[in-house]
Amino acid sequence: MDKVRIQGKASLHGVISIEGAKNAALPLMAACLLTEDSVVLDNLPYLHDKKTASFQAQTIKTSQAPYDIVRKMRASILVLGPLLARSGEAIVSLPGGCAIGARPVDIHIRGLEALGAEITLEDGYIQARAPRGLQGRRYTFPKISVTGTENLLMASVLAKGTTELIHAAREPEVVDLAHFLNHMGARIEGIGTDTLVIEGVSRLHGTTYSVLPDRIETGTYLIAAAITGGELFLEGTSLNLLPSVSSVLERMGIQLEERQGGIWVKSPPPRELLGIDIVTEPFPGFATDLQAQLMALMTLVNGSSLVTETIFENRFMHVAELMRMGAEITIQGHSALIRGVPFLKGAPVMATDLRASVSLVLAALAAEGETLINRIYHLDRGYQDLEQKLAACGAQIERITEHQKPLLEAVV
């Protein structure tokens, strides 16, 4: 199993290209099931030689998404709405993914039932049928759900009549999906608000569309610059994608500037930054997917910080590993009090989920000595070429395998 080895205390300087957003690309790919025409998606992540791919679901050979596929990624639940809308039936396994807390699918099920679907749960599968097609209705989400909003949005574009989704998620990835569907011929109004009105159409057509930049990758590298007291230009992204995060970083003392083609960020050493209190919230609030990364920075700033997590109940699993490196963190319920320390010290640590993994990378970049991060397979699900991008900006970082002895000198 691969590990990452980091020799800390190297300030980052240079240019980092931001990839297309995984959390936007996945629903766009699922939405390709809604048309028999060809769809071309540009700026896709994880395509090393090219960024463009063509999709065509001319015929739906099966309406079943099996467990072996769905268990690997919770976002696979997003095929439920498109399959049901296009084929009149869908059999989708209950999902898997990072162990960061309960993410129930009942919101998806109740919403689709409101549109006329008949749904049962059997042997770990959601079995949905709409033999007479889906019917537009008003549905109010009991709580904000990004994937719930995306699933119902995709299902409703082919429903008969008008659908009104109340208390819908407003995340940039939802906005991107709505614009994409409109490019395919859907009729969606209220994009970017918490009320989406969809007038059903009989069919969608093909299109060419570019995936929006990854705001979580953007935020991660902004924090990487800050925790190392560095200066970076993040290419192909925008501060508009993370308004709350940029506001928090600026209040801490980090310089951010929107420039042509990307974002410029410059920071003094972490001990010259100020502690701050945050609460994770749905967009436009502070993203839960950046909470662990910001906490790594908070361990080194001047003063105390308070993080309150309101989205996932198990998202403090990185705390114990940060404390192994010398962080002073106290957890009480859904809040973590972080007291800034003069330095962190490298240590063997264990990654527990995607965002926790990268928070340990950030902490290791600033720590004294060597850090060895185990179980880094989580990283590859969310960060393309992480080691190469950091090394190109001055980080002493390398990936090692189970059968490879650690090198005496880090790869720069």
Read off the tokens for 83.
Answer: 């399959």
Residues 6+ apart with CB under 8 A from 408: none
Question: What one-character-per-residue DSSP string does 360-391 give?
Answer: HHHHHHHSBSEEEEE-GGGGGGT-TTHHHHHH
| Residue 404: CB atoms within 10 Å | 11
Read off the tokens for 117.
Answer: 């679907």
Question: Cβ distance 64 to 91 under 8 Å?
Answer: yes
Question: Cβ distance 149 to 282 under 8 Å?
Answer: no
Structure-token match 């109340």, residue found: 166
In the sheet with 304-308, reading across from the earlier edge strand, the strands are 277-279, 304-308, 335-339, 328-332
Residues noted as catalytic: 98
Distance of alpha carbon 250 from alpha carbon 239, whole angstroms? 12
Residues 6+ apart with CB under 8 A from 190: 196, 197
Q: Which string of b and e fits 34-56 if b means at least 16 CB within 10 Å? A: bbebebebebbbeeeeebeeebe
Q: Identify the DSSP state of 340.
A: -
CA 320 to centroid of chain Cα atoms: 23
Distance of alpha carbon 318 from alpha carbon 295, whole angstroms? 9
Distance of alpha carbon 271 from alpha carbon 300, whole angstroms? 6
In the sheet with 195-199, reading across from the earlier edge strand, the strands are 138-140, 162-166, 195-199, 187-189
Q: Does residue 284 have a cis peptide bond before it, meaning omega lies within 30 degrees of 0? A: yes
Count helices and strands in the chain by DSSP H and E runs: 12, 23
Distance of alpha carbon 199 from alpha carbon 201, whole angstroms? 7
| Residue 341: CB atoms within 10 Å | 16
